[in-house]
Amino acid sequence: YIEQVKAREIFDSRGNPTVEADVILSDGTLGRAEVPSGASTGELEAVELRDGGSRLQGKGVSKAVNNVNTEINDALKGVSPFNQGNVDQIMIDLDGTKNKARLGANAILGVSMATARAAANYQKVPLYRYLGGTDLELPQTFHNVINGGEHADNGIDMQEFMITPVERTSFRDGFEKIANTYHTLKKVIEAAGYQSGLGDEGGFAPDLKSSEEALQMLHEAIEKAGYTPGKEIAIAFDAAASYFYNTETKQYDFEGTHKSADEMSQYYEDLLNQFPEIISIEDPFSEDDWDNFEKVTAKMGDKVQIVADDPVCTNPELITKAIKNGMANSILIKLNQIGTVTETLEAIRLARKNGYTTMMSHRSGETGDTFIADFTVATNAAQLKSGAPARSERVEKYNQLLRIEEELGDNARLARFPNNIDFD
Ligand code: PGA
Ligand code: ZN
């Protein structure tokens, strides 16, 4: 049983405070987890409790830490760590709000993840085994190699430009192709006279003039690295369009233009024609603009994966509504958007049961914790985005997948993209 739960304030990859939680079992077994934090957060995400005031730019998490050390500790003492659903429900009930605003989703998630770790450690099995079945697969990974939007100070309004290895003989083989392309991209960026400094997710953040130029550079880097765009390495992007939507004019203020939703839709279609190697588009419209999500899915959903992130925030209720409306064909999954392991499992189950693909995701503010690597394998989520093949807080997730592939040995299967969309 759980003997003690405690937390402390640590720092994330952007130098901001975050929660680390420890769950200690009666025999002394420790489970520990660190909580990530987003920059382009959805309106309906569970609440990340921050102290406010002047200390650490108001971003301190001492209240969340204190909630773990007092109320949550009292409520979980003596509870079995092997019933994750029960542990999470106790914290949800204790919090008492719909969005975990009282205790903080950062406090609750830290304990939720640390509980799973403690249980796995107690059973002396890897986390992916404890949480998963036996028929496990290594995900298709999406690597954000050019950072824009809220993740970099440059002129690109789309947030993430990703590359993904569609043809690979093993996870390692795919990752090597990505690393080669990343290094080639650096040369392409420098040859064009731009700086090759990095953004929040380890991708380059050159001051390009447009998203189209970013896609052109990816195309060129894939070819120069010796691969065929679309065949060996494909492209995906996250527009994170809520961040360039103008709620007053109801237009998209995009890279010096003001576009209606129809014009944005036409723009995406033109990009697909120009770069047929684009296989996945996340958040093409603002989080409130469900109508246009639906329209774009009806129009292009048989050719490209349309991923919903900000509109649904890993929330089972919102995902149910999204499925009913056919507003995408894929759901982005972020543990800290909803705040417990159990609810995240429910989000994944719902999506997959209804023929939606799932993409697990890191946050732009990350830690060294590799929980999502194991969690992706355990849930057969099949897709993972965890940033560039650079900066340890990103690469550690991929390194963990390399370890898992080695452990699975001959049983290691690769998730194939797409799992349910009929692409050419
Ligand atoms: P965030 O970005 O972690 O800053 O929210 C990730 C995303 O939008 O997918
Ligand atoms: Zn997103």
CA distance 249 to 245: 9
Per-residue pLDDT of 218-264, as tens digits, reads 999 999 999 999 999 999 999 999 999 999 999 999 999 999 999 99
C-beta of 334 in contact with ligand 1 (< 6 A) = no
Paired tokens of 279: 């296989």
Which pLDDT score is estimated for 195? 96
363 appears as a binding residue in the annotation: yes
Per-residue pLDDT of 56-91, as tens digits, reads 999 999 999 999 999 999 999 999 999 999 999 999
321 appears as a binding residue in the annotation: no
C-beta of 50 in contact with ligand 1 (< 6 A) = no
24 CA from centroid of ligand 2 (Å):
34
CB-based contact 39:200 (threshold 8 Å): yes
Ligand 1 test: best mutation among 361, 366, 384, 385, most atoms within 8 Å of CB? Answer: 361
371 CA from centroid of ligand 2 (Å):
19
Per-residue pLDDT of 254-292, as tens digits, reads 999 999 999 999 999 999 999 999 999 999 999 999 999
Atom of ligand 1 nearest to the CA of 240: 8
393 CA from centroid of ligand 1 (Å):
15
Catalogue the E-assigned strands of 12-89: 17-25, 30-34
CB-based contact 46:35 (threshold 8 Å): no
325 Cβ contact list (under 8 Å, min separation 6)? 290, 294
232 Cβ contact list (under 8 Å, min separation 6)? 165, 166, 167, 177, 222
Give catalytic residues, as residue numbers: 201, 334
231 Cβ contact list (under 8 Å, min separation 6)? 166, 167
Paired tokens of 165: 């290895």
Which pLDDT score is estimated for 420? 45
Nearest CA to ligand 1 atom 8: 40
Which pLDDT score is estimated for 133? 79
Helix, strand, coil shares, percent, the chain, to 5: 40, 20, 40
243 CA from centroid of ligand 1 (Å):
11
Which pLDDT score is estimated for 421? 43
Name the nearest CA neighbour of 322 among 357, 360, 280, 277.
357
**Look-up of token digits 């050719």:** 303
* CB crowding 363-391: b at 16 or more within 10 Å, else e: bbbbbebbbbbbbbbbbbbbbbbbbbbbb
Which pLDDT score is estimated for 153? 87
C-beta of 364 in contact with ligand 1 (< 6 A) = yes
Identity at 416, one-letter amino acid code? R
ipTM value of the model?
A: 0.98
Ligand 1 test: best mutation among 18, 35, 40, 282, most atoms within 8 Å of CB? Answer: 40
**Within 10 A of 66 (CB to CB), how many other CB atoms are there?**
18
> In the beta sheet, which residues pair with residue 357?
330
CA distance 86 to 111: 13
Which pLDDT score is estimated for 243? 96
The list of the chain residues with pLDDT below 70 reads: 419-424
C-beta of 280 in contact with ligand 1 (< 6 A) = no
Give the SS3 label for residue 416: coil
